Amino acid sequence: MIRVFAPGVIKLFGEHAVVYGQPAIATAVDRGAWVLCERGERTVIRAGPAQAQIEYDLDGDVAWARGHEPFLSYVKTALRKAGESFGPLKASFEVKNDFPPSVGAATSASVSVAILKAYSACLGVDVSGEELARLAHKVELEVQGAASPMDTAVSALGGVLRIETSPFRYRRLATPIRELVLAVLPRRGTTKEIVAEVRGLKSRHKSIDAVIEAIGKIADEAEECLSRGDLVCLGELMEVNNWLLGALSVVGHEVVLLLHNLRPYIYGGKISGAGRGGVVVLLPKDAERLAEALKSMGIQHYHVRIDEGGARLV
C-alpha cells in the first residue's frame, strides 16, 4: 500500500496578478491531500461521500462517476495524465483532503499532485517534484482552461516559493513564518469563474493593469521583508495586497470587517486564492489567542504550519 501526502497551498502575495506574469509568493502547509494507492484488478477511486466516487473499466475509461463535478474532473484528468506519462495501472485509490473543496487552499492542485505521485509510486516509478509540478499544472490547465503554475508547483515542491510564470521559474525563500491561521468564510463562485471575471474587468479598463503591476511590486517588496525576518513588514504588505485585490473586486466587506476585528491578534491578513470569500490567511501574533477569537466569532479556522517537504510518500 502506497500513501502520499501533497500539501495545501496558501498564497501569501500575488494571486490573480500571477496569471498576468507578475511574481507571487506562496507557501505549502501541513494540511492537504492524502492518497492511498493499492494495486488490484480494477481502477477505483473513492473520495468520501462529500466528494466523489469513480470506477474505471478495464480499458481505463470511466465506467461510472458520481459526486462533486469539479472534483471529479480533476481526478479523472489526473488519472489520464498519469496513465499517459507513467503507463497503465490497475489500482484502487482513496483520496482525502484536510480542507473542504474550493476554499482557496489549492485543494484541486494538491489532489492532482497527490494522485500523480501515488500513481507513479504504485507503479514503482520515481518522479521528481518538478515533473510532478509540470504534469499537475497540465491537469489544472485542462480542467480550468486558465491556471498559473503556482499552486501545483508549491504543492509538489513544498516550502515558501517565489513563483514567476513567463517563463516559469521558482525560487525557494527563507522565512521567519512558522505558522499561519486560516479563517474560512463562505465562498461565492469557483476559481475558474472568478479568474474569468477579473480578466473581464482587466479587458474593460486599462487602469487595472496598474493594480496588477502594483501587486507584483508588493511581492518583490515582501521578499525583502521575508529575508529580514520582519513579520510587521509582511503583515502590513499583506493588508495592502488585500486592498489591491479589493480593487479587482474579489474581496468582500466581510473580509475587511474580519481583518479589522482581528487587528489585536495579527500582524496582517488577506484573502488567499481567488477570493470572494474562502480562505483568509492570517499572520498571527499569538496563534492560540487568534484561534480563540475566531472560535468565539463562530468562524471555521485551521491552525497550520509551513510544510517544507512537498508531495511525498508517508
Q: Which residues are catalytic?
A: 151
Which is nearer to ligand MEV, 15 or 164 (by Cβ)?
A: 15
What grid cell was written down for 243? 486592498
Which is nearer to ligand MEV, 273 or 310 (by Cβ)?
A: 273
Question: How many residues in the chain?
Answer: 314
Contact 10, 181 (CB under 8 A): no
Residues that bind ligand MEV (CB under 6 A): 11, 15-16, 18-19, 106, 147-148, 150-151, 191, 195, 273-274
**From the CB of 12, what's the least distance to ligand MEV, in Å?**
12
**From the CB of 164, what's the least distance to ligand MEV, in Å?**
12
d(CA 27, CA 159): 6
What grid cell was written down for 88? 497503465
Q: Is the four-CA dihedral 159, 165, 168, 174 of positive or negative sign?
A: negative
Which is nearer to ligand MEV, 75 or 198 (by Cβ)?
A: 198
Which is nearer to ligand MEV, 151 or 164 (by Cβ)?
A: 151
**From the CB of 148, what's the least distance to ligand MEV, in Å?**
3
d(CA 262, CA 256): 10
d(CA 277, CA 126): 38
Residue 21 CB partners (closer than 8 Å, separation 6+): 164, 165, 166
Instruction: Taking each helix axis as running N to C, give the angle between helix 107-123 and helix 129-144, from 0 to 180 degrees, rounded to the nearest 10.
Output: 130
**From the CB of 1, what's the least distance to ligand MEV, in Å?**
31
Q: Of 9, 4, 8, 78, which Cα lies nearest the Cα of 35?
A: 4
Q: What are the two backbone dihedrals, phi and then psi, of residue 99, each rounded to the nearest 5 degrees?
A: -110, 150
Q: What are the two backbone dihedrals, phi and then psi, of residue 61, each rounded to the nearest 5 degrees?
A: -90, 155
**From the CB of 266, what's the least distance to ligand MEV, in Å?**
21
Count other Cβ atoms within 10 Å, centred on residue 172.
12
Which is nearer to ligand MEV, 19 or 95 (by Cβ)?
A: 19
- Alpha carbon 119 to chain centroid distance? 21
Which is nearer to ligand MEV, 171 or 289 (by Cβ)?
A: 171
**From the CB of 147, what's the least distance to ligand MEV, in Å?**
4
